[in-house]
Structure 1
């Protein structure tokens, strides 16, 4: 317990930090897992596991909230007009706003995941989830142009998003984006805005305008064993309904969009 408190006290301070509670919780999860493995491998008896009574600190309410239209406009303006590669930054920001994907999903995107007939991108995200996410015609054109100019001769199963020299972007590129935007827009740094805030913003808008089931499908959330998950087994949204939300969000036509109740 004393060591977990020390980890909390020595954790890095960030604008959106919660007094080190996250670092402490992660440490407790890691040390409990370590001792569970030791018990499973018969290195120590269960009765000698010192982490049995160790509990994570109470989870704090997230400070994340939907961004306003004005804030999104500022972010898009800075992304598209500053830095050494504004075209790439603007494309990434737009991809996250339009699809509500996680950064792992956008980084894992491959040219073969672009379905130009159905206007969908195949997103592979955490939990080994895979889904076809509708995108607007103009975003699909932008993704195809990115591939054409930056990786014309690469394997279509390789990473799509790349620097001008053809090198695939690392996961740290996303952190660099927000650090740079935060230097120009101080409120971004103060709030600790990241790519996940864009996902939060889009999904909140979809839920308010199209309901929980469509928002859950838009997010790519998997069904759980709880009551809410059981209900979604019967009322889960179709890809056509997700596409209808996309049309309302982007103002662009889409071939799969549902006009009304089917």
Structure 2
């Protein structure tokens, strides 16, 4: 048998086995070199979205400092546990802190996100992630609750009578009370996100969600006036601004609640924050208009929870109706309760 006959015979055998020559070549290619944590981190950061960058960025950098020169497959579960303990111990004390518990939880989540990407890239086998072998700390019940009418009045009174920019602080409290939006959603607002005619505000919040939220025409007008007086001109200019025209940052919220807590001891003692306003508004909407409308008011789009949440949906008109009842001001999109076909509880 000559070489050509042997080659033809080998091809027939491969064909019977369902194997191609290219597959044989691929099977014999050398495995890629295992990168170190520091070498692989830039690829993880490039693939991460803005939300993941904000949440995990600090912890990824700590991983790089602790394990930078070690290969991905050299990290063990005990290393991740040690990182968690170190992060929790060094967490910056906050008014609503839990002794670093949340920081430790975020450290594990960041390590899991890092190793999930390594598995997806084929660098380590599925099930071999050291981060996924470490349990997250059990999340404690949130101390947040709905504020009473009296408590909310006290907070607004302090905001309007103290500080170096009472107009801004009063506007912020009203914005969050009407919309129940998160702090990040407010900071992301642009001039073009306000629809004065329809009384709508376009919110960009966590999970890269985008939605239109009804607001009173009065608030819409005040937001546009605020932006105009403080130098917003282009549609993409930041809506909320300091008196000198700079776009608002999260520091304003921190200073606001520190100041309010200094004048209202119960605010400082309970760690009241902007998110408590969200609880307050959504609790009122749920009690008076039901779970479906409260869920839409909150902008919740998650699919977790009971199967019935798939069918419990509310449209923009129902949310506008709840807003009108909450504020006592008419809204162009609001529908009467009779037209909605049910009665508020």
The TM-score normalised by the length of structure 1 is: 0.91
**Matches of 2:282 and 2:182, distance apart in 1:** 12
Q: Structure 1 stretch 73-82 or stretch 91-100: which is displaced more?
A: 73-82
Q: Structure 1 stretch 173-182 or stretch 53-62: which is displaced more?
A: 173-182
**Matches of 2:128 and 2:329, distance apart in 1:** 62
Q: Which residue of 1 aligns with 2:137?
A: 57
Q: 1:213 aligned to 2:292?
A: yes
Q: In structure 2, the residue corresponding to 1:235 is in which secondary structure? A: coil
Ranges in structure 2 where 5+ consecutive residues have no aligned partner = 1-80
**Matches of 1:242 and 1:48, distance apart in 2:** 46
Q: Which residue of 1 aligns with 2:102?
A: 22
Ranges in structure 1 where 5+ consecutive residues have no aligned partner = none
Q: Deviations over 1:37-56 (max 9, x none)?
A: 44555666667643342110
Q: In structure 2, the residue corresponding to 1:256 is in which secondary structure? A: coil
Matches within 5 A, 1:153-172: 154-172=233-251
Deviation at 1:115, TM superposition (A): 0.9
Q: Which residue of 2 aligns with 1:177?
A: 256
**Matches of 1:238 and 1:40, distance apart in 2:** 38
Q: In structure 2, the residue corresponding to 1:122 is in which secondary structure? A: strand
Name which of 153, 156, 159 aligns with 1:73.
Answer: 153
Q: Please identify the structure whose Cα radius of gyration is greater.
A: 2
Q: 1:245 aligned to 2:325?
A: no
The answer as to whether partners of 1:178 and 1:193 remain within 8 angstroms in 2 is: yes
The answer as to whether partners of 1:80 and 1:86 remain within 8 angstroms in 2 is: yes
Q: 1:194 aligned to 2:265?
A: no
What is the RMSD computed on CA atoms of the aligned residues?
A: 2.0
The TM-score normalised by the length of structure 2 is: 0.70
Q: Assess, with a 3 A threshold, how the Cα gap between structure 1 residues 120 and 46 changes in structure 2: closer, same or farther.
A: closer
Q: 1:142 aligned to 2:222?
A: yes
Q: Deviations over 1:191-237 (max 9, x none)?
A: 11111111111101110110000000100111415434xx3443311
Q: Deviations over 1:24-78 (max 9, x none)?
A: 1111112233344445556666676433421101111111111111111011111
The answer as to whether partners of 2:303 and 2:310 remain within 8 angstroms in 1 is: no
- Corresponding residue pairs, total: 259
Matches within 5 A, 1:115-134: 115-134=195-214
Q: Assess, with a 3 A threshold, how the Cα gap between structure 1 residues 125 and 52 changes in structure 2: closer, same or farther.
A: closer
Q: Which residue of 2 aligns with 1:258?
A: 335
